[in-house]
């Protein structure tokens, strides 16, 4: 398995997402290359297109050469729903020399089953239109649930594509946002996955349900060792990116409108999440780094420490898994 630095882990340092460093230059692609070298990571997963200053071929090919010289492979993520924008992102990924691109479809789930079926059909067409471009650049297109699609819906899209260029991107956040167990999610989809984005979350109660707060690996509710074992059994080539963004995920599971959007939601899923809130809910709720009274230097230091601590924890678990598999 290939470990990757997920750029979302340094979103604050990069000045993406509403918080901007005032006294430090924002991290860009070149900074991430240096960080990957410093931490001995052979890959970078670019989660935010704004990290790339331009989209012209000359600029992108220069970044590609820099990555090749550093011995770092690249992966790109496109978040959206427009077919033409996905194709543009594939062109960017091709110019960067990426081997794969993650497609995170962003949309609001409709309330009716019929409308959701129509939305899935739209997504199928978006993927179908993108495949000739992916073939041109020899790119693997990895579908993400993006917190919008259930595991069954994601599998349905994968099978409908009927292409060796299509795979699945696993991440626990996508499962949790649709009230599914990340391990069960991975067991169903692992055999079709090309990449795994690992993150961990603490849960806290809210007036309308729950909030999930990203935290250092091993301090949250995600069974990361089980995910690693599934990935190891599914594909020895799977890429594992380390993602520790300072983010909060909203789960309004007590809101009727939210529940109406998941027609196949089982009572056991809802009961499991309520039980997690009661048993492991943080009181008081964690505070996002960008909302604290810490200085800019302290915020950036905590962000960096969270990633490096998680990377060290993950490497330790991967070593243990490798030893067990050899016994």
Q: Mean pLDDT across the stretch 170-188?
A: 94
**Would you state the pLDDT for residue 326?**
39
The answer to whether residue 322 scores a pLDDT higher than 60 is no
**Would you state the pLDDT for residue 235?**
66
Q: Mean pLDDT across the stretch 41-46?
A: 96
Per the structure block, which two tokens stand in for 267? 């009572």
Q: Is the peptide bond before 144 cis (omega within 30 degrees of 0)?
A: no
**Would you state the pLDDT for residue 324?**
47
**Would you state the pLDDT for residue 267?**
84
* C-alpha dihedral sign at 308, 313, 319, 322: negative
Q: Which residues contact 243 (CB under 8 A, 6 or more apart)?
A: 6, 8, 9, 45, 47, 171, 197, 198, 199, 214
**Would you state the pLDDT for residue 238?**
78
What does the DSSP assignment read for 124-140?
HHHHHHHHHHHHHTT-E
The answer to whether residue 32 scores a pLDDT higher than 90 is yes
- 37-41, 91-95, 188-192, 257-261, range with the lowest pLDDT: 257-261
The CATH class of 2-326 is: alpha beta
Cα 11 to Cα 9: distance, rounded to the nearest angstrom: 6
**Would you state the pLDDT for residue 236?**
57
By C-alpha distance, which of 41, 55, 137 is closest to 98? Answer: 137
**Would you state the pLDDT for residue 233?**
84
- 206-220, 228-242, 311-325, range with the lowest pLDDT: 311-325
Q: Mean pLDDT across the stretch 4-12?
A: 97
């Amino acid at each position: 398995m290939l470990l990757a630095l997920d750029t979302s882990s340094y979103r604050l340092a990069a000045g993406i997402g509403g918080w901007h460093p005032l006294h430090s230059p924002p991290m860009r692609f070149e900074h991430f290359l240096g960080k990957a070298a410093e931490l001995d990571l052979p890959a970078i997963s670019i989660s935010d297109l704004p990290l790339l200053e331009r989209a012209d071929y000359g600029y992108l090919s220069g970044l590609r050469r820099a990555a090749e010289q550093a011995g770092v492979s690249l992966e790109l993520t496109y978040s959206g729903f427009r077919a033409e924008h996905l194709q543009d992102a594939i062109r960017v990924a091709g110019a960067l020399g990426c081997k794969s691109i993650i497609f995170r479809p962003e949309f609001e789930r409709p309330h009716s089953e019929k409308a959701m079926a129509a939305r899935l059909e739209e997504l199928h067409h978006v993927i179908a239109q993108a495949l000739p471009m992916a073939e041109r650049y020899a790119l693997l297109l990895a579908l993400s649930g993006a917190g919008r699609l259930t595991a069954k819906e994601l599998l349905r899209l994968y099978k409908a594509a009927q292409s060796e260029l299509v795979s699945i991107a696993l991440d626990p956040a996508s499962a949790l946002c649709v009230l599914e167990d990340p391990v069960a999610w991975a067991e169903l989809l692992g055999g079709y996955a090309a990449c795994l984005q690992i993150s961990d979350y603490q849960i806290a109660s809210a007036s309308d349900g729950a909030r999930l707060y990203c935290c250092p690996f091993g301090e949250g509710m995600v069974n990361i060792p089980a995910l690693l074992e599934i990935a190891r059994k599914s594909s020895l080539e799977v890429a594992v990116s380390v993602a520790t963004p300072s983010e909060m995920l909203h789960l309004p599971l007590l809101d009727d409108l939210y529940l109406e959007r998941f027609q196949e939601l089982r009572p056991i899923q809802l009961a499991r999440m309520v039980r997690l809130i009661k048993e492991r809910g943080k009181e008081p709720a964690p505070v996002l780094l960008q909302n604290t009274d810490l200085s800019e230097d302290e915020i950036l230091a905590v962000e960096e420490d969270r990633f490096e601590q998680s990377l060290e924890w993950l490497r330790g678990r991967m070593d243990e898994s490798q030893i067990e598999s050899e016994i």
